[in-house]
Amino acid sequence: MEQEKIVSGYCRQLDSSRMVEVVTQDGEITEVDCCYGNCVYQGSCLIAGEIDAMKV
């Protein structure tokens, strides 16, 4: 089943707050409307941390 979740927080790359839509299909992340996976700030990004927590 497909589910959508909105994650919000500060985006260092954009230097502003951001709402990110994350789409999952049967527990697997299928879409993220930010640079998740390729962002140079991902290691310190709170939004990426919340997205990582969805993988469990």
- Quick check: 5 and 12 in contact, CB under 8 A? no
Predicted local distance difference test score (pLDDT) of residue 12: 93
Distance CA 39, CA 56 (A): 21
Predicted local distance difference test score (pLDDT) of residue 53: 93
Predicted local distance difference test score (pLDDT) of residue 56: 66
Q: What is the residue range of 34's domain?
A: 2-54
From first to last of its 56 residues, what are the pLDDT tens digits of the chain? Answer: 899 999 999 999 999 999 999 999 988 999 999 999 999 999 999 999 999 998 86
Query: How many Cβ atoms sit within 10 Å of the Cβ of residue 24?
Result: 18
Number of domains present in the structure of the chain: 1
